[in-house]
Chain A
Amino acid sequence: MEQDKPKIQRRDFLRSCFKKLPVLVSAAYIISPDELLASASDDYNPDEHNYAMGISIHKCIGCGRCADACKTENKVPRDEHFFRTWIERYIIPPDGEAEVDSPNGGIDGFPKADEKKEILRTYFVPKLCNHCENPPCVQVCPVGATYTSRDGVVLVDSSYCVGCRYCIQACPYGARYLHPETHTADKCTFCYHRIVKGMRPACVEVCPTQARVFGEIGKRNSPLHRFIRFNDTIVLKQWLNTKPKVYYSGADGEVR
């Protein structure tokens, strides 16, 4: 414990205070306290947020409204292969491997499961970019077009992306695709344009069963905090140490 203490000496501290004194004093003259408060409340401060999502597998009915709304909100091509979020159906037989299918991302519903086969368990798992805290996609981007914003959202600068596909290869969750028109990498942004305005991402907005929860890490009044407190949650492929920020409740060992 002792060694963990910050290594700042009293003398250093006083010295640095003394250095900053003129700045503070002059700032106090220029900006009145009222102004300071006003600008703090009007302005969105990205450093105060760290967004994340919770998904309750027990509640998801596989209606695909989320995947559909996502495409509408974010103008994702309607084609079969391009998704920012999609639904997978897991069918687990009494013995053997889980079968996973996701026809058109679940937007048009799922065909009947093969009635002849025995089924032990079956459920839906919505997937999207996990906005990893330790994102391999950001690490591999050679030009700095994909990055983690200050509010903890992994974004792609499409005007700077060169379309080399390294990030698509690097993402262990298959969360990225190459946009067929812009030829740049694209993926879920947590509906960044909505959340900075205090709205919920489109998929969360339209989820009829509240299987999706949007919120912030480390804020007690955030719905996500409550979700994590009252559910046993897991993240996908935890052993890869990407530190994903999409938390699943009700997932068993088969989900990955």
Chain B
Amino acid sequence: MKKVPQQIIPLAIIFIVAIAALVTARHFFVPETFGDYGHYRAASVDEIASQEVVYAGSIICNDCHDDIYETKMNFDHRGVSCEVCHGPAMAHTEEPDEYTPRIPRIRNQCTICHGYNSARPSGFPQVVEEVHNPGRPCLECHNPHKPLLPRAPQACDACHREIALQKAVSHHTSLECKTCHDAPPDHMSNPRFARAQKPTSRALCGKCHDTEADVSRGIPRIKLATHNENYLCWDCHYPHHPEAR
């Protein structure tokens, strides 16, 4: 056998040590699962995938709130996910009593989308906030689950134009005239003889405005029994424009 040249042995030792060092260093520095699928740590995919979910997705809301869901699906907000207005609701789906999503009754909630901005697509419904019933929450006139344009009832307009115009800008705009006035069937054909009735009692206003009345929370209430009990409501409030005192 030929003798191995003398310089090979130290060189070989150096090589072996270097390679061993490299392998050990790799073992310590390259994390586990690195390179399983590519030049990255495979376990990080699972770490990212296990992040907490915050938005539940609107399909799940249907499980409990199917009535609202049904309504919404028949109107223009059908594509608007519940969480757009009510905020993230994953926590609510897990513990419905513990976490309740917000119910925004403020104007700003609607103007995020419907405030006028020239860059919005022209067909998109927009209002100029400064002049469109300033200060009032949109919910007073519009139902967000059933967003229709409110329209004052028009049955009596033809003859009572002045009153209709005034009522149109008041809180009572959506009430039909016959809510308060009884008109006989031939009032339209023979108004002078078949006269419409004016209300006669405070109780009529009380139907909506008494503290006991079973109506929507937005309506102003008063304890009818003690509130200036000797007067009729319309001695002080003008019903066609109640804000004008």
Q: A residues near B, CB below 8 A? A: 46, 58-65, 69, 72-74, 89-91, 109-110, 112-113, 119, 122-124, 144-150, 155, 157, 159-160, 189, 192-194, 196-197, 199-200, 202, 205-206, 208-210
Contacts and interface: CB of A to CB of B under 8 A. Distances in A.
A110 B57 contact: no
Interface stretch (B119-127, B160-168, B198-206): B119-127
A119 B37 CA distance: 51
B88 interface: yes
Given A194-B53, A205-B81, A206-B55, A144 B40 contact: yes
Contacts, number: 113
A224 B37 CA distance: 27
A110 to B, nearest CB: 6
Contacts of A160: 31, 40-41, 44
Could you tell me the dominant secondary structure of chain B's interface residues? loop
Contacts of B120: 61-62, 124
A193 B31 contact: no
B34 to A, nearest CB: 7
Given A59-B121, A193-B49, A157 B44 contact: yes
Contacts of B50: 193
B115 interface: yes
Interface residues of B, number: 36
A240 to B, nearest CB: 22
A72 B53 contact: no
A112 B119 CA distance: 9
Could you tell me the dominant secondary structure of chain A's interface residues? loop
Contact of A124 (B55, B57, B119): B119
A64 B45 CA distance: 29
Contacts of A59: 121
Interface in B60-95: 77, 79-81, 83-84, 88
6 contacts: A46-B45, A91-B119, A109-B115, A155-B44, A160-B44, A196-B49
B83 A205 contact: yes
Interface in B166-222: none
Interface of B: 31, 34, 37-41, 44-45, 47-55, 57-58, 77, 79-81, 83-84, 88, 112-113, 115, 117-121, 124
Contacts of B58: 205
A109 B45 CA distance: 35
B112 A64 contact: yes
Contacts of B41: 144, 157, 159-160
B37 A150 contact: yes
B93 to A, nearest CB: 12
B187 to A, nearest CB: 46
Given A194-B53, A197-B53, A209 B79 contact: yes
Q: Which of A119, A193, A210 has the most CB of B within 10 A?
A: A193
A80 to B, nearest CB: 18
A193 B53 contact: yes
Contact of A145 (B40, B84, B112, B118): B40
Contacts of A119: 118
A65 B53 contact: no
Contacts of B52: 193
A99 to B, nearest CB: 11
Contacts of B80: 208
Given A90-B119, A155-B45, 8 more contacts: A59-B121, A61-B124, A63-B113, A113-B118, A123-B119, A193-B50, A205-B58, A208-B77
Contacts of A74: 51
B54 A149 contact: no
B48 A58 contact: no
A164 B206 CA distance: 71
B69 to A, nearest CB: 15
